[in-house]
Amino acid sequence: MSRLVELRNCRRVYDNGRIIALDDVSFSVARGDFIGITGPSGSGKSTLLDVLCGLEEPSVGEVLFDGEVVRGRADWARLRAERIGFVFQSFYLIPSLTVAENIEIAMLWQGVSARDRRDRVAQLLERLGLSARGRQHPLQLSGGERQRVAIARALANRPTLIVADEPTGSLDSRSSADIINLLEELQHGGEITVVIVTHDKEIAARCDRRVELVDGRIVSDLRGPIPAVPTEVCA
Ligand SMILES: Nc1ncnc2c1ncn2[C@@H]1O[C@H](COP(=O)(O)OP(=O)(O)OP(=O)(O)O)[C@@H](O)[C@H]1O
Ligand SMILES: [Mg+2]
């Protein structure tokens, strides 16, 4: 599988080096990966995700996207706008806009014509089971529905990569399962690569690849299904 994003020896420190959020991490995301990043609070999961998409610059090390080192904010801003979709725990929808407008806004600066924007919004609403909600406002929706709107917005510019930081952190278990099913469907559809940060072991278990962080370091990186836990103890 070809590499979509690669971190080479990335270190990220805060507070004049007193806090080491990422400690010499080398890590790559292959095209088509469906990765769950887990680890204790403060272990560097969000930092890893932010470095992966240029929201944070590594203090040391470099990040490659599609095989090329990305340097500078302008290049990252362009990559994020054109290639990366974001989903966060707290949705970040604009309450004064309708659901349809919240999705459309992602395309406003991408040169998509008004007609194509309308068509894409309609397709996304349909795909995410939100067709009846387009004219409503975010505060009229449940948490699970709001997160689906956020996912529709993340998909609007047809990204290569979706990054999600605790996307189910504010949701009940049923809505969480819906959101993960949805992300899984998108990734199985082919072109999209998904990286999710999660505290939830069940969600991590659904991922094709699980990366665990402790104290800013990757302590395990496993592919494939989780081995079944034996239910009987042999005498
Ligand atoms: N902007 C910042 N300024 C100072 N310290 C920071 C900053 N961002 C993160 N840190 C510190 O870096 C470390 C890693 O933080 P990070 O947010 O990546 O952890 P996390 O694994 O996402 O935690 P959580 O599960 O609580 O979200 C923590 O010690 C945190 O306090
Ligand atoms: Mg975090």
Ligand 1 pocket mutation pick from 25, 38, 46, 89 by most atoms within 8 angstroms of CB: 46
What domains are there in the chain, each with its CATH number? 3-223 (3.40.50.300)
The count of other CB atoms within 10 Å of the CB of residue 70 is 18
Ligand 1 pocket mutation pick from 12, 47, 199 by most atoms within 8 angstroms of CB: 47
**pLDDT given for residue 231 in this prediction:** 63
CB 167 within 8 A of CB 87: yes
Confirm or reject: Cβ of 232 under 6 Å from ligand 1.
no
**pLDDT given for residue 92 in this prediction:** 93
Confirm or reject: Cβ of 17 under 6 Å from ligand 1.
no
Cα angle for residues 61, 2, 33 (degrees, 5° grid): 90
Confirm or reject: Cβ of 44 under 6 Å from ligand 1.
yes
- In Å, what is the CA distance from 172 to each residue of 35, 137, 165, 168, 178? 22, 21, 16, 8, 10
Confirm or reject: Cβ of 46 under 6 Å from ligand 1.
yes
Q: Is the pLDDT of residue 185 over 90?
A: no
Among the bound ligands, name the one nearest to the CA of residue 88: 2
Token match 């402790």: residue? Answer: 214
**pLDDT given for residue 178 in this prediction:** 86
End-to-end CA distance of the chain: 44
Q: How far, in Å, CA of 45 to CA of 197, rounded?
A: 6
pLDDT digits (tens, 9 = 90+) for 4-16: 999 999 999 999 9
What mean pLDDT is reported for the chain? Answer: 92
Which atom, in ligand 1's list, is nearest to the CA of 216? 14
Residue ranges of alpha helices (H) inside the chain are: 45-52, 73-83, 99-104, 114-127, 143-155, 173-188, 201-206
**pLDDT given for residue 229 in this prediction:** 61
Confirm or reject: Cβ of 58 under 6 Å from ligand 1.
no
pLDDT band at 230 (very low <50, low <70, confident <90, very high): low
